[in-house]
Homo-oligomer: A and B are copies of this chain.
């Protein structure tokens, strides 16, 4: 019986959640695990069209992602979520509903770096007041109190962050140790 789990990435917009989700998914799929990514933007169109960015609507969106991650993980799938999920209490509620292991990863990048980088131009627009409820600018982000893994995407390469996550999954026995060939993938 293959055991699933949920890898829950949380962090500000642009911190690297989607990039890391894809990169970790590739490593785990290469080890023969079933993996699904529930990306915040994608889920907004598939499960949460019509919801906005008030606390209430964000909470509903995050609970829905949590519901689907729970169904997947309890059926042997690795569910990787990549949504800002800014509120600590809702992340805790989703964790509490899980029958399977729930690993919270804080994808941490300081706000000034994100504002400077601003690949999608969203921070500039939010700072000009053109976007209401933009997390980190005019809407709260509550970092995890005790994340299972913290990656600092301003200091680490993607491969370093992936490696940190994969090592923690190995350490907990959630995935097997890499074969020699595969470990080079994440150690480079």
- Interface residues, chain A, with chain B CB atoms under 8 Å away: 34, 36, 46-47, 49-50, 60, 63-64, 67-68, 71-72, 75-77
Contacts and interface: CB of A to CB of B under 8 A. Distances in A.
B46 A67 contact: yes
A72 B69 CA distance: 10
9 contacts: A34-B75, A47-B67, A50-B50, A68-B71, A71-B72, A72-B75, A75-B75, A75-B77, A76-B76
A34 B68 contact: no
Contacts of A71: 36, 68, 72
A162 to B, nearest CB: 22
A110 to B, nearest CB: 34
Nearest to A67: B46
A77 B49 CA distance: 26
A65 B71 CA distance: 12
A71 B71 CA distance: 10
A67 B67 CA distance: 13
Nearest to A66: B46
A53 to B, nearest CB: 15
Contacts of A36: 71, 75
Contacts of A49: 60
A68 B36 CA distance: 11
Contact of A46 (B46, B50, B64, B77): B64
